[in-house]
Amino acid sequence: MLNNPAQASMEHVYFESAGLILVFISLGKYLEELTKGRTSQAIKKLIGLQAKTALVIKGDLEIVTPIEKLVVGDIIKIKPGGKIPTDGEIIEGHSTIDEKMLTGESIPVEKKIGEMVIGATINKTGMIKIKALKVGEDTMLSQIVKTVEEAIGSKAPIQLLADRVSFYFVPGVFVIAIVTFFIWLALGQSFVFALTVFVAVLIIACPCSLGLATPTAVMMGTGLAAQHGILMKNSKALETANKIDVFVFDKTGTLTVGEPEVTDVIAIEADEKTVLGIAASIEQHSEHPLAEAVVNAAKEKKIKLKSTTKFENLAGQGVTAKLNNKTLLLGNRSMMTDNKIKFEKHEEQIKKLENEGKTTVILASDKKIIGFIAIADVLKKETPQAIAKLKKMGKQVWMLTGDNQRVAQAIAKDLNLDGLLSEVLPHQKAEKIKELQAKEGKVAMVGDGINDAPAIAQSDLGIAMASGTDIAMETGDIVLIKNNLNSVINAIDISHYSLNKIKQNLFWAFFYNTVGIPIAAGVLFPFTGILLNPAVAALAMAFSSVSVVTNSLTMKFYKTK
């Protein structure tokens, strides 16, 4: 005979509870797997971007070939509107390519012979032929998928905290359940009553939601980043991006375009078009990068180049040539001095350009200065905006470069940087990062070259530009596919958003257990006569896990600021 109605009711539902517990736990696991499956949707979408076949040219034949059978060197024809099946170089035709699915950039990019195209992007306008350079697992899309999968599989530092808590939590709950069992026996309740409470405590305290709190948010966060052209190579990068104190940027190819451009043409004895045309006519015979910049500037302005003779390259000074029987000189001060050409009255103008970080060449003929041309590796369009945003977020921004102090100082002044480290040799860059870490806190290094790899490896967060060298991308924790510095801002924002979701998930996981365990232990029973049925505990446990995963799923509605 039982002592109270609660015990009597337990006799009638004991076996039903056992069945319902199994049902609710199974239901919870099913819903958990269903919702977890959705968190990998970003990877599935990426894989689904691939073309299934390619039109390979073999002699006079065009053969439809599965992309799995493509080999490096295959010549592939892509019609307008078709998907590009693999990474390659355009060898015939030109077109606009929609790269939105990989870079997030909505505006199609003009591509011509000699330029690279990426597999899974869309050929919009013209028919092109490409030579396959990377196939299978070597393509950019495959590397993105692999990187995202590895990031999902890795553990963020905050996950280690959850793991440590779970390590003590499970035996702690078991102790609570045993103590509760004996307390109810000591208070005169039956063995069935005490056992029911014991089981309810164990079931409701299942740490499933605690274990899901971090990985589900990490899966969604890395997927979001990939959709915005940001490859998080591990979950540590996802968490660390939000905690960086100092962002250090390489100059060439990162803050700047990476190629010299003509910035100023100043005419003295002729108009600007004439000065640029003469200079380009001389430089068309030179292979120097500055010469290429001058020739490209003339071509952009559709200036017709003239034929010159007796071209000569004078090392360390400049170049000379004959045009219409006149000797033309294009070079630095040393060349002008050696040829007794006076330029002193223009010195202030030349110094002004040089103080702006520009290399200035002087054009002269018949002992007279005709004009000047200023050349510089100009800042990328988005650089000033990105740097201003970082500073607004309270981050320090430094530049680390091997370039000379004058050029570096001009750029640092334009961007209002917090610090500058110039004329640093490649092997010294890692040491400079280490010094910054000791003085300023967590440091991120953003670069693109082989010489940046040691600094990227030393930093707390290495960020590599996808346009850079393979070693820089391999070393970095984050790769920016867009090669756009605004992606650094998006990476920080996604990191902040993901970390907040992880914290929310951990809160709800602990909240369920904090509220659920005492109720399951029967603290309300003496006052209300209510005792938590193990079946209800199983249902609560299942939905605690589902609620955590559902909160992570809401991340798919994230929009960049």
For residue 229, give every residue at least 6 positions away whose Cβ sits within 8 Å of its Cβ, in sequence order, or none.
Answer: 102, 103, 104, 105, 480, 481, 482, 484, 487
Partnered with residue 128 across adjacent β-strands are 78
For residue 64, give every residue at least 6 positions away whose Cβ sits within 8 Å of its Cβ, in sequence order, or none.
Answer: 53, 54, 55, 56
Dihedral, CA atoms, 421, 424, 427, 430, nearest 10 degrees?
Answer: 0
At residue 250, φ and ψ (nearest 5 deg) are -70, 155
Number of H helices and E strands in the chain, helices first, is: 20, 22
Query: Tokens 């797997």 belong to which residue?
Result: 33
Cα–Cα distance measured from residue 87 to residue 377, given in angstroms and rounded to the nearest whole number: 29
Cα–Cα distance measured from residue 527 to residue 380, given in angstroms and rounded to the nearest whole number: 70
Q: Are 447 and 468 spatial neighbours (Cβ–Cβ below 8 Å)? A: yes
Query: Tokens 């539902």 belong to which residue?
Result: 13
Residue type, 461: L
Task: Give the torsion sign (CA, 472, 473, 478, 479).
Answer: positive
Burial of residue 522 (CB within 10 Å: 0-12, 13-18, 19+) is buried
Interior angle at CA 217, CA 214 and CA 218, nearest 5: 80
Phi-psi region of 188 (alpha: psi -120 to 50; beta: other; left: phi over 0): left
Return the SS3 of 361.
Answer: strand
For residue 542, give every residue at least 6 positions away whose Cβ sits within 8 Å of its Cβ, in sequence order, or none.
Answer: 24, 25, 27, 28, 29, 31, 32
Cα–Cα distance measured from residue 235 to residue 232, given in angstroms and rounded to the nearest whole number: 7
Return the SS3 of 296.
Answer: helix
Task: From the candidates 74, 87, 250, 448, give the one annotated as an active-site residue.
Answer: 250
Q: Are 372 and 349 spatial neighbours (Cβ–Cβ below 8 Å)? A: yes
In 3D, which of 135, 220, 177 has the Cα closest to residue 495?
A: 220
Cα–Cα distance measured from residue 137 to residue 249, given in angstroms and rounded to the nearest whole number: 31
Interior angle at CA 188, CA 186 and CA 189, nearest 5: 105
Total residue length of the chain: 561
Is there a catalytic annotation at residue 163?
Answer: no
At residue 462, φ and ψ (nearest 5 deg) are -95, 125
DSSP classification of residue 423? S
Q: Which residues are catalytic?
A: 250
